[in-house]
């Protein structure tokens, strides 16, 4: 389940996350986005700032692999969002 919202530099998507062997659904995945700026040699950055489940931030409880999986979800969302607006 993903809830699509307008993208800004700091925003969230609603999706799921795994912590340990438990799937949490729904969670709010908060991220900061800094788009690429080739004219100043900046490649851009995407950072997960919080993963909220029932009002609690579970990001500190997540392993590096679990954070990478959440980061991939956000990256795929942003890519699909851009593709939708190209046409």
φ and ψ of 43, to 5 deg:
-80, -5
19, part of any domain: yes
2, part of any domain: no
Q: Which residue has the higher pLDDT, 5 or 78?
A: 78
37, part of any domain: yes
Distance CA(48)–CA(18), nearest Å, equals 15
81, part of any domain: yes
- Tell me whether strands 56-57 and 45-53 are parallel, antiparallel or unpaired: antiparallel
The pLDDT score that the predictor gives to residue 1 is 46
Q: Over the stretch 24-56, which tens digit does the pLDDT of each residue have?
A: 999 999 999 887 788 887 777 899 999 999 999
Total domain count for the chain? Answer: 1
1, part of any domain: no
CB 9 within 8 A of CB 22: no
Give the structural domain span for 14: 10-86
């Amino acid at each position: 389940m993903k809830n699509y919202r307008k993208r800004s530099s700091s925003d969230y998507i609603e999706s799921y996350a795994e912590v340990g062997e438990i799937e949490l659904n729904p969670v709010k995945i908060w991220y900061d986005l800094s788009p690429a700026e080739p004219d100043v040699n900046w490649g851009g950055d995407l950072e997960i700032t919080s993963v909220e489940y029932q009002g609690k931030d579970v990001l500190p409880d997540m392993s590096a692999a679990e954070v990478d999986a959440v980061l991939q979800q956000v990256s795929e969302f942003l890519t699909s969002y851009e593709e939708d607006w190209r046409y």
